Structure 1
């Protein structure tokens, strides 16, 4: 059994499509098919059920996938640990976020502290983030909501109130708070389902007896403020994403508690590099400062 076979198998198992996997790996489909076939011959069982052009992991494949992911994670962790020892001031930090409003401040502080550390950040839905987290493919996730699991280490770093953002000429702009039931006939702008704040707001509004009516749903939370300012709709905005824009007014929500937990998540089996530990320190310092 070869390392290349395991790497190819993981890609095919995740995509369940030979052509797409070959394109992702930048190899020919013929070469990839032969590599998977040799792996199946080594194991003595088929790992996939062939359904037309698509593949589907069978019971053998699913069992082997868990072991292969763990083996490759261990090898990757070993590589990272050696890099940490040989070049402690360099390296790459892999991050995934669903709560991005505080990220620019945190990354600015981290870059000043460790200017030679490269970081790669992905803005994801909760499910996409959880998938990467379970695979051990990211150092940390900055997430809302909090996620718990046997292989996940979870630290709640901030309790973030959700506010209602309205344009300055809105009928509610003269007030400091509003009941959720008063918003049942409003038009909203928001992120798509699958993002923590959206799912939380929809759930709490449902408990108040209505479903928010959205005229815009997107993937970029930062765009919501400009849409509110343009009077396209009102929005649920976390307090950490509140801007100093004079064209927008923010209201607290009465009666119903609408707050999100922001948590720092990591895989319990993933090697935590020095850079990752320092990133955690920056995160804790930042949220500690705004909680005062």
Structure 2
């Protein structure tokens, strides 16, 4: 069995389509098909059921996939550890987020401490984030909601109140708080299903007797502030994403304690480099500072 066979097997298993997998691997379809066939011959079983042009993992394939992912995961961790030993001041950090509102401040602090470390950030749905975490393809994820999995470490770093954002000309703009039931006839702008705040607030609204009417559903949280300001609709906005420079009024929710928990996640078996450890320390310190600021505000709201 060859390492190349495992890489090709994973690509086909994840896409379940030879053409797509070959394109991602930058190889020909015939070469990919022959490699998979040799792997099946080596193992003595078929790993896929052929359905037209698609390949679907069968019972043997699903069993082997778990082992193959674990083997390649360990090899990748060894490669990363050797890289850190040979070049401790260089490297890369892979990050996933379900909300990017606090990320600029965190990355700014991190770049000051680790100027030679490259980082790559992906905006993900909760399910996409879980998939990458379980595969060990990211160092850390900042997630709301938290994720509970056997192989994933979950550290709650902040309790973030959800606010109601309305434009300054709105009927509620002279208020400091509002009950959810008062919003039942409003038009909303929000994120798509699968993102934390949307998945948190929809059930809460249903519990008081209405389903929010969304006139806009997107995957860019920062855009919601512009849409509210343009009077397209109102929005549920986490306190960490509020923009006090915008022509928007933020209202507290009276009748329900609606908060999102922000968690830092990482794979329990993934190698944590010194650079990655520094990132975790910066995240924890950043949110500790936010918590102290929120506490001071609550004690002295004026």
**Count of aligned pairs between the two proteins:** 292
Q: CA RMSD in A?
A: 0.6
Conserved? CA contact 1:99–1:262, under 8 Å: no
Q: What TM-score do the two structures reach when normalised by structure 2?
A: 0.96
Provide the C-alpha distance between the structure 2 equivalents of 1:230 and 1:130, rounded to a whole number of angstroms: 35
Provide the C-alpha distance between the structure 2 equivalents of 1:255 and 1:201, rounded to a whole number of angstroms: 13
Conserved? CA contact 1:227–1:233, under 8 Å: yes
Cα deviation for residue 238 of structure 1 reads 0.2
Q: Secondary structure at the match of 2:160?
A: strand
Conserved? CA contact 1:106–1:283, under 8 Å: yes
Cα deviation for residue 246 of structure 1 reads 4.5
Cα deviation for residue 184 of structure 1 reads 0.1
After TM superposition, the runs of 4+ consecutive aligned structure 1 residues lying more than 3 A away are none
Q: Secondary structure at the match of 1:134?
A: helix
Conserved? CA contact 1:127–1:194, under 8 Å: yes
Q: Work out whether 1:93 is the aligned partner of 2:90.
A: no
Provide the C-alpha distance between the structure 1 equivalents of 2:210 and 2:56, rounded to a whole number of angstroms: 41
**1:63-121 CA distances to partner (integer Å, 9 max, x unpaired)?**
00000000000000000001111111110000010021101110011011100000010
Conserved? CA contact 2:99–2:221, under 8 Å: no
Conserved? CA contact 1:106–1:282, under 8 Å: yes
Provide the C-alpha distance between the structure 2 equivalents of 1:86 and 1:173, rounded to a whole number of angstroms: 58
Provide the C-alpha distance between the structure 2 equivalents of 1:220 and 1:197, rounded to a whole number of angstroms: 12
Provide the C-alpha distance between the structure 1 equivalents of 2:65 and 2:273, rounded to a whole number of angstroms: 26
Q: Structure 2: give runs of 5+ residues left out of the alignment.
A: 293-302
Residue in structure 2 matched with residue 109 of structure 1 by the alignment: 109
Provide the C-alpha distance between the structure 1 equivalents of 2:208 and 2:287, rounded to a whole number of angstroms: 30
Superposed, 1:249-288 pairs within 5 Å as 249-288=249-288
Q: Structure 1: give runs of 5+ residues left out of the alignment.
A: none
Q: Secondary structure at the match of 1:291?
A: helix
Q: Secondary structure at the match of 1:272?
A: coil
Residue in structure 2 matched with residue 123 of structure 1 by the alignment: 123
Residue in structure 2 matched with residue 161 of structure 1 by the alignment: 161
Cα deviation for residue 256 of structure 1 reads 1.0
Q: Which moved more, 1:218-227 or 1:244-253?
A: 244-253
**1:25-84 CA distances to partner (integer Å, 9 max, x unpaired)?**
000000000000000000000000000110100000000000000000000000000111
Q: Secondary structure at the match of 2:33?
A: helix
Q: Secondary structure at the match of 1:284?
A: helix
Provide the C-alpha distance between the structure 2 equivalents of 1:145 and 1:226, rounded to a whole number of angstroms: 24
Q: What TM-score do the two structures reach when normalised by structure 1?
A: 0.99
Residue in structure 2 matched with residue 181 of structure 1 by the alignment: 181
Provide the C-alpha distance between the structure 2 equivalents of 1:246 and 1:286, rounded to a whole number of angstroms: 24
Provide the C-alpha distance between the structure 2 equivalents of 1:249 and 1:145, rounded to a whole number of angstroms: 25
Q: Work out whether 1:15 is the aligned partner of 2:15.
A: yes
